[in-house]
């Protein structure tokens, strides 16, 4: 097995572990973050209905890509998600970090959503 395949496999295992450790499966909507080298995506998922309630990413048409860093872009995505969550009148969500460390871009999204008054 190559080095890349073992890294991918360990990331997938970590991803499943974090999803199961949330503990409130289906009780609250789940905010899932995915990041690539260029972009970051956030989705609010209802696990009972198996639906995506809302989403935001740096790939959206109305997003301003001229910000300095990817962390600043993540903060803006968090602000967009926070506003959308407020409009749907959801007070509490569960955060699924999707196997990533709570650091950098992932942390920037969560902090900007918390600043909007959403309980995580």
pLDDT at 72: 93
Instruction: Let me know: does 63 contact 96? Beta carbons within 8 Å.
Output: no
Over the chain, what is the mean pLDDT?
Answer: 87
Whether residue 76 has pLDDT greater than 90: yes
Q: How many H-runs (helices) and E-runs (strands) does the chain carry?
A: 3, 4
Rounded mean pLDDT of 25-34? 85
Whether residue 82 has pLDDT greater than 60: yes
- 40: how many CB neighbours lie within 10 A of its CB? 23
Instruction: Let me know: does 31 contact 96? Beta carbons within 8 Å.
Output: yes
Rounded mean pLDDT of 37-64? 90
CB-based contacts of 71, cutoff 8 Å, min separation 6: 104, 105, 108
Domains contained in the chain, CATH given: 3-115 (3.30.420.100)
């Amino acid at each position: 097995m190559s080095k890349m395949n073992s890294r991918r496999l360990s990331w997938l295992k970590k991803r499943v572990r974090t999803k199961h450790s949330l503990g409130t499966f289906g009780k609250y909507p789940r905010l899932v973050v995915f990041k690539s080298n260029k972009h970051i995506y956030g989705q609010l998922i209802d696990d009972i209905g198996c639906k995506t309630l809302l989403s935001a990413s740096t790939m959206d048409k109305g997003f301003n890509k001229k910000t300095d860093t990817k962390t600043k872009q993540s903060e803006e995505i968090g602000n967009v998600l926070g506003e959308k969550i407020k409009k749907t009148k959801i007070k509490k969500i569960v955060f699924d970090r999707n196997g990533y460390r709570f650091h950098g871009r992932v942390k920037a999204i969560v902090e900007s959503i918390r600043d909007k008054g959403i309980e995580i």
